[in-house]
Amino acid sequence: MAEIIQKDGTWTFDGDALRLTPGRDRNVSLLRRTLGELVVPLGALAGVSFEQGKKSGRLRLRLRDGADPLLHASGGRLTEPNDPYQLLVESDRYGVAEYFVDEVRNALLLDEVASDPVNEYLLPGPPVPLSVSAGDGTASFDGEHIRLEWNWKTEDAKAAAGTRTLAVTDLIGVEWQPAVGLENGHLRFAVRNAPTKAPPKYDPNSVELWGFKKDPLMALVAAAVQARLPHPSTPALTDVEPAKPQIPQQSGPADRREDEHDALLRRLRELGELHRTGVLTDEEFHMAKQAILKRM
């Protein structure tokens, strides 16, 4: 086992997983303290590194693309203090940090862990229920529904719609964007069959963010929701709907029916394999299967 204890946090590696515990120092970010301890399976890692500095160094974990809903929801926009996969290391612990890196790298080699993207989340995302107040509203999530409540800073046009409740099943995406410079950020929920180009300031499905201390916590709400949406590698249902078979024109009616029947059976088997390997969700598989059965 390898372990490094710092004011910024404690990282422990037991050969199968890394346990990342944020420190209690007042300089530890609010996001990391709210997120709490993370357990990262070895299979979710793409690499680890240690960078030395004059006064302090930094341990960094690199996760495989698609393994963590928080990294996907934040889109690489978390600043260094808010990144749970970085650890500040004091100069007198450089040797321990280098040993830690060697242990993790050796385990990656021995287990032959690939660094390519994955097609399912290997981390569960932030725990729920979760509620964050920032910007012009409060976003709460219980695992099934998002509740958006407005405050006195909300534009009248948006506040007039009242409290908003969105079901996860009605969403096609979620986006978190931090405030940068003079540009405000936002937490936006994309609702199926309800596209909008309205700025977050007026969009009833968005919380506008102004760059204050609690803004990064909205990334946790985005990640918790993202963890319950289809994985980004999952093709849309339209990508796996049964294709109309090409039937030779010279075939007779009986031959055409037999050829189409065989093609539909093959498509059913393909859908079953996609469902078995996790590419299709239960709902997507059921819908596509029913579409084929109706044609049969």
61-94 pLDDT per residue, tens: 999 999 999 999 999 899 999 999 999 999 999 9
CB 67 within 8 A of CB 41: no
Q: Does position 249 have pLDDT exceeding 50, yes or no?
A: no
CA 236 to chain CA centroid, nearest Å: 17
Confidence of residue 23 (pLDDT cuts 50, 70, 90): very high
Element (H, E) at 74: helix 69-74
Q: What is the pTM of this model?
A: 0.77
Q: Does position 261 have pLDDT exceeding 80, yes or no?
A: no
AA letter at 135 = G
Q: CA–CA separation, 65 vs 52, rounded Å?
A: 26
Element (H, E) at 167: strand 164-167
Highest mean pLDDT (candidates 159-168, 243-252, 267-276): 159-168
Q: CA–CA separation, 229 vs 207, rounded Å?
A: 19
